[in-house]
Amino acid sequence: MQPAAPITTGTEAEFSDTLKVFTKALMRPGRIDRIIYVPLPDAATRREILNLQFHSMPISNEIDLDELVLQTETYSGAEIIAVCKEAALLALEEDIKADRIMKKHFTQALSIVTPRIPESLMRFYEDYQEKSGIHTI
């Protein structure tokens, strides 16, 4: 009896095939010398991204940075920035003269801007990184 083949989603299979073609075609000296795996930001990095965004945003004192760091755990850096921009737009839509972005705006923004990288794809990247020995940042 043969062991069952691992179940993969269409996205993983398509990405895997694309990566193989990409690797063969472009991984040569003078073209692309190496692939670098960049994982999602950890808590400290998410905090820094939020702090950098908050420097140019008038946020309410009710905003809990620690809570936002936890709520953005599976977000990429670009998605965290998009959450901040969406919260600002929501504040302005509510009141064009708004002088502060409130917690409710961030809560609503988090429901609009959702993480786009599925857990299965993250596992694929991590497995590929381990098996292929690609560099990690």
**Dist CA 87 CA 46 (whole Å):** 16
Percentages of the chain per state (helix, strand, coil), in multiples of 5:
55, 5, 40
pLDDT for residue 3 is more than 90: no
Q: Does domain 37-137 have CATH number 3.40.50.2300?
A: no
- pTM of this prediction? 0.74
pLDDT reported for residue 1: 45
Which residues, at least 6 apart from 122, have a Cβ–Cβ distance to it below 8 Å? 39, 40
Which residues, at least 6 apart from 107, have a Cβ–Cβ distance to it below 8 Å? none
Domain residue ranges of the chain, discontinuous segments joined by +: 37-137
